Structure 1
Amino acid sequence: MIESFQRREKLIFDNHRGQTFEISVSSPFYLDKADGLGALENEFYNVKNYNEDGTNIKGSSVRERNIVIEGRIRLDKDINRQQMIRFFNPKHSFTLKYTNGDIVRYIDCKVEKTPVISRHIIPEFMISFLCPNPWWYTEEQKFEIAMWVPAFEFELEIDAEGDGIEMGYREPNNVVNVFNDSDTTSPLRIQFKAIGSVVEPYIEVVDTGRIVKIEATLQGGDIVTVNTKRGNEYAILERNGVEINYFNYLSYDSDIQLSVDVGDNLIRYDAAQFVSNLEVAIYFTPQFVGV
């Protein structure tokens, strides 16, 4: 439990309707305590054999996170009381943003218990939240593998030998190191972009051989985005401004929950034909134990 907050620490809720709600020591909704921002709880799967001391741990997983916030309404208690009750509607989903100077973390949550607000002269409140995914996360990061690099610049020089002007060149390396500087594995958002015809593009994790492959021929201008976040897996083709479900075009051996491990992850791209017409970008969101 955190019971002593600094002035620059803020808890800012977004209810996905464009509305925000701040709880902090500088807000009318004064922040006294917050439980559940830091520690995670591990859940073990044990097997106990007959006449054996202790148990055998066969596996473990991190439990969902509970966050309980306590504070006081300092100004306009009647108006702000209603504002708090209406904002933290249990039917809505929220993203909690924690800020402390340069440190910014996010977590998705639902209201577990709507605000309990006292009738005191300075009303006290308590709100309880459940975070099904217990990991805090930061802004999405982007790694480009196959891209064209611009080479046209001023002052313009034209080769007198008649070799022409280099407008750009193909990035020669088809492997990128996606470095995951976080506390756990992170899912990916993979974008295949065709600048011409491309047959069966894919990416592969070099160390493990796990792949995500599109078993189709892409046309120039096509963009296929594959998301491997658990509970939100999808493959979408964007063609001529229209989005098409492309999940059925993933190969049978594609890992739809492909993720990057903590540390270095060598990922390469390729295609069955016309790989020079392929651009690939990989996005992932770092995740952290606490704030």
Structure 2
Amino acid sequence: MDRKFINIKFQSNDVTLNLEDDFKLIKIEGIESSDYEITIENYMQYDGGYTSKKRILPRDISISFDYCNLKNDNIERQRLIKFFNPKSQGILTVNYCGVERYIIYEVESFKEVRKSLHEPLSFNLNLVCPNPYFEDIIIGETISTFIGGWKFKFKLPFRFKQKGEPKKNIYNDGHVDTPVEIIFRGPAVNPSVINHATGEFIKVERTLTSDDTLYITTEFGNKKVEIERNGMRQNAFHYIDLDSTFFQLQPGDNMIEYTTDNELEPQSVEIRYRNRYIGV
């Protein structure tokens, strides 16, 4: 098997497009890194200055590819025009020499560049990714109040039978901090989750029954606190302890622990996350 390869796949509106078989990838740029913005402040009375801010900017990705099947080129041309609709968001998955990661994109431009109808279809595609980070395909680890039992494919482990420790070290193998989704299944009184690596915690001042499931999302711009009962979710943001921090997992070790203010054990506590990378 050739270890030097790059495969790319697009997904949009439940449709998948693989640039394989009749397609030929000519060029792809922007997957190794995004542009950075570094702000330097000058010292007033000393030489030089200091770095006051670092920011990774939205990522631009440009792709050039051909469609080489002349018999079906008009049909494929119409399909590609429809697929790369600027009104539709998509997911780009890149497999670079066995390392596979994905990123959410918007179509910035899609243009045909062949010079005559007798040539193979040739396109230039420009994408912009407001969130510049590539992410893992697989969801990360969990902690749970019970260990042992079965694991189901493509899902986080459902564990039972044997009581486990209320804490676990989660290793973030990514390049930057990553947000988490916490799923806390009652019963519990004032449940909280602590990241001992940073000293940050999230606490919800609310009693959960065995019919309640607490969902907390710490992603910037998408922070949520919700309680689900009988399939219905309700906003629970107002129950958050004011000293709480919507923490993220830092690169490296993160010792995560859950606590409650009563002696009842919750059914399970899960931490879901995906490692984030500055490139692939």
Q: TM-score range by the shorter chain?
A: 0.7 to 0.9
Q: Which of 54, 64, 74 is equivalent to 1:78?
A: 74
Q: Equivalent residue for 1:134?
A: 132
Q: Which of 53, 56, 68 is equivalent to 2:50?
A: 56
Offset of residue 113 of structure 1: 1.3
Q: Which of 8, 11, 17 is equivalent to 2:8?
A: 11
Q: Tell me, what secondary structure is at the counterpart of 1:85? A: helix
Q: Which of 15, 25, 28 is equivalent to 1:31?
A: 25
Offset of residue 284 of structure 1: 1.1
Partner amino acid for 2:139?
Answer: E
Cα gap change, 1:193/1:267 in structure 2, threshold over 3 Å: closer, same or farther?
same
Q: Which of 221, 236, 240 is equivalent to 1:231?
A: 221
8 A contact 1:81–1:117 mirrored in 2: no
Q: Equivalent residue for 2:155?
A: none
Offset of residue 269 of structure 1: 0.8
Matches within 5 A, 1:156-167: none
- Structure 1 runs not aligned, ≥5 long: 151-166
Quote the RMSD (CA, aligned, Å).
2.3
Q: Equivalent residue for 2:88?
A: 92
1:124 maps to 2:117: no
Offset of residue 48 of structure 1: 2.9
Q: Equivalent residue for 1:267?
A: 256
1:281 maps to 2:279: no
Q: Equivalent residue for 1:199?
A: 189
TM-score, with normalisation over the residues of structure 1?
Answer: 0.83
Cα gap change, 1:201/1:52 in structure 2, threshold over 3 Å: closer, same or farther?
same
Partner amino acid for 2:266?
Answer: N
- Give the Cα separation in 2 of the matches to 1:275 and 1:117: 66
Q: Equivalent residue for 1:253?
A: 243
1:175 maps to 2:131: no
**Greater displacement, 29-38 / 5-14:** 5-14
8 A contact 2:143–2:166 mirrored in 1: no
8 A contact 2:191–2:204 mirrored in 1: yes
* Greater Rg over alpha carbons, structure: 1
Q: Tell me, what secondary structure is at the counterpart of 2:260? A: strand
TM-score, with normalisation over the residues of structure 2?
Answer: 0.86
Q: Equivalent residue for 2:178?
A: 186
8 A contact 1:145–1:268 mirrored in 2: no
Cα gap change, 1:148/1:38 in structure 2, threshold over 3 Å: closer, same or farther?
closer
Q: Tell me, what secondary structure is at the counterpart of 1:84? A: helix
Offset of residue 275 of structure 1: 4.3
Partner amino acid for 1:277?
Answer: P
Offset of residue 236 of structure 1: 2.0
Q: How many residues align?
A: 264
8 A contact 1:198–1:278 mirrored in 2: no
Offset of residue 90 of structure 1: 0.5
Q: Deviations over 1:44-72 (max 9, x none)?
A: 11223568655432120111110000111
1:109 maps to 2:105: yes
- Give the Cα separation in 1 of the matches to 2:91 and 2:229: 31
Cα gap change, 1:147/1:55 in structure 2, threshold over 3 Å: closer, same or farther?
same
- Give the Cα separation in 1 of the matches to 2:197 and 2:274: 21
Q: Equivalent residue for 1:159?
A: none
8 A contact 1:41–1:63 mirrored in 2: yes
- Give the Cα separation in 2 of the matches to 1:199 and 1:51: 55
Identical positions, percent: 26
